[in-house]
Amino acid sequence: MTLMILKMIGCLALLMFGMKTMSEGLQKLTGGHLRAVLGTMTKHRIGGLLTGTFVTASVQSSTATTVLTVSFVNAGLLTLSQASPYSGSSST
């Protein structure tokens, strides 16, 4: 039982590490250009929803999309309202 729990914790840690590494790599690769692209793609609620759907389908992991979105908000590449297309504070 404890071995199974330790394996699950290890797998989750490995997944989170991989997503963080991928996010940092994308940020370094694109530099300031990524901020402009993300800003354009998430300017409106529908655009943000479609972008999120496309990214999730591309990487086939909603967890990866969520981790990327959170890290982009943390890095200042997206605002919180851009990251959540249906939040009350986002502009249309």
Instruction: Give me the half-sphere count of Cα atoms (radius 13 Å) on the Cβ side of residue 85.
Output: 15
Query: Helix, strand, or coil here: 35?
Result: helix
Q: What is the predicted pLDDT for the residue at 85?
A: 67
pTM over 0.75: no
Going from N- to C-terminal start, the domains of the chain cover: 2-83
Pick the closest to residue 38 from 69, 61, 63, 66 (CA basis): 69
Angle at 90 between CA 47 and CA 63, to 5 degrees: 60
Q: Give the mean pLDDT per block of 10 residues along the chain (92 residues).
A: 92 85 75 78 82 85 82 78 61 42
Q: CA separation (Å) from 78 to 4, 5, 28, 30, 84?
A: 37, 35, 15, 14, 10
Q: What is the predicted pLDDT for the residue at 83?
A: 81
Are 46 and 52 in contact, with CB atoms under 8 Å apart? no
Q: What is the predicted pLDDT for the residue at 28?
A: 79
